[in-house]
A and B are shown apart, each in its own frame.
Chain A
Amino acid sequence: MRVTQGTFSFLPDLTDEQIRAQIEYALGKGWALGIEFTDDPHPRNTYWEMWGQPMFDLRDAAGVMAELRACREATAEQYIRINAFDATRGFETVRLSFMVQRPATESGFRLQREESAGRVVRYTLQRR
């Protein structure tokens, strides 16, 4: 099952050229870029592992692409996403976040039901 989270996740995977163009766009807006990876793409897992530190003051996408290459080499069968952080007052948040790598086979999730007090049923998603 294909994990869909972040921008563009319902589109086919971005090519490197498209990723580069997105990074250029973010840099043009003055956003800081960070690379993160994880083996646990659960929607509730907000905190992915950081690949190095976020990159501030870049002018060109080449630096991010080089880091992405290094990250891909190190984490072949994991999820990688790129975050673009806007430090402008009032935003101070991630403005763009998109996945740039996913494992060849994605296990997906299963709906877990739990009987609770009375006839209440609690639901949760569990990794298959």
Chain B
Amino acid sequence: MNATPNNIPKPTSVDLRALYAETNIGSLLTELDKDLVGLSPVKRRIREIASFLLVARARERLGFSSAPPTLHMAFTGNPGTGKTTVALRMAGILHRLGYSRKGHLVSVTRDDLVGQYIGHTAPKTREILKRAMGGVLFIDEAYYLYRPENEKDYGQEAIEILLQVMENQREDLTVILAGYTDRMNTFFQSNPGFRSRIAHHIDFPDYNNDELLQIAEKLAEEAEYRLSEGARKALGEYITLRRQQPNFANARSLRNAFDRARLRQAERLFQREGAISASELVTLEASDILASRVFKMDK
């Protein structure tokens, strides 16, 4: 690693700004700020981690101790708060900073790791781990790995292999566990090995109504749709009502609502006679949103 020959004097200072520019990490962080609405505590933590890794790089250049830092993370938060999206970005950030050789993300759930018969789990888990090496392994809904109600469950085996690799091959692989806050807490309580091997616990807060509206507008923009003034107002009401109902999944609920509004818009246009203008094709009207189940349940 530190292949500085003895006859060359070690540098005694390092320019963090230059290192920052060199890794091109700035653009990635700005992009993160721009693309993701809200999530300010998450963004702050990511900035902290990025600067920490940058400093670690600088230390390494000056020849200070450079044991690879533990980078395993846990993302906790309610459904639809952007855990997977941020994990994808994280893989990019780690790659730019040189802490992930390939920078790819392998996203798995319990089914990919745990087998169905005795002796089936270990090869399965190992295969996934090998595939994730050089990148980031993202385990969604990680608490399913551990099933306390069944002591013969093979999940424990997968956990043991994971822990071993997380400890011994830290420079080959970064593991990110994700799941809903309360269930992850129970998971960590029953698996103290995990808690201690994870350096960064990041909690994803729920979005507030304004942020959700912004997200909806962003979704529409990406899909080349436009919300009329009335539709925007209706969507605001929709968010307030939807939040009170069960199974509210933040941005994911909004995406579903948007998809259904598109369906209704298509139907509305199809029913009408005559030519359709371009602006009509891209505009979602209030009626497309007000037809939602959410408003009917209220009445």
Residue numbers of A with Cβ under 8 A of B are: 52-53, 55, 57-64, 66-67
Contact = CB atoms under 8 A, between A and B. Distances in A.
Contacts of B217: none
Interface of B (DSSP majority class): loop
Contact of A60 (B123, B127, B133): B133
Contacts of A59: 102, 104, 131, 133-135
A62 B126 CA distance: 12
Given A58-B131, A60-B133, A66-B169, 7 more contacts: A58-B133, A62-B101, A62-B169, A63-B129, A63-B130, A63-B133, A66-B133
B169 to A, nearest CB: 7
Nearest to B172: A62
Interface hub of A53, A60, A66, A67 (most chain B Cβ within 10 A): A60
Given A52-B123, A66-B169, A60 B129 contact: no
Nearest to A33: B130
Nearest to B100: A60
Given A62-B169, A62-B172, A66-B169, A57 B131 contact: yes
Contact of A58 (B130, B169, B173): B130
A58 B84 CA distance: 21
Contacts of B129: 63
Contacts of A53: 123, 127
A42 B133 CA distance: 35
8 contacts: A52-B123, A55-B130, A59-B102, A59-B133, A59-B134, A60-B101, A60-B172, A62-B101
Nearest to B131: A57
B274 to A, nearest CB: 51
Nearest to A55: B130
A125 B123 CA distance: 39
Interface hub of A57, A62, A64 (most chain B Cβ within 10 A): A62
Query: Ordered nearest first, which 4 A-B pairs have the shortest CB separation?
Result: A60-B134, A63-B130, A62-B133, A62-B172
Nearest to B101: A60
A60 B174 CA distance: 13
Interface hub of B101, B129, B133, B173 (most chain A Cβ within 10 A): B133
A63 to B, nearest CB: 3
A61 B173 CA distance: 12
A84 B211 CA distance: 50
Contacts of A57: 131
Contacts of B172: 60, 62
Contacts of B169: 62, 66
Interface in B131-179: 131, 133-135, 169, 172-173
Contacts of B101: 60, 62
Contacts of B133: 58-60, 62-63, 66
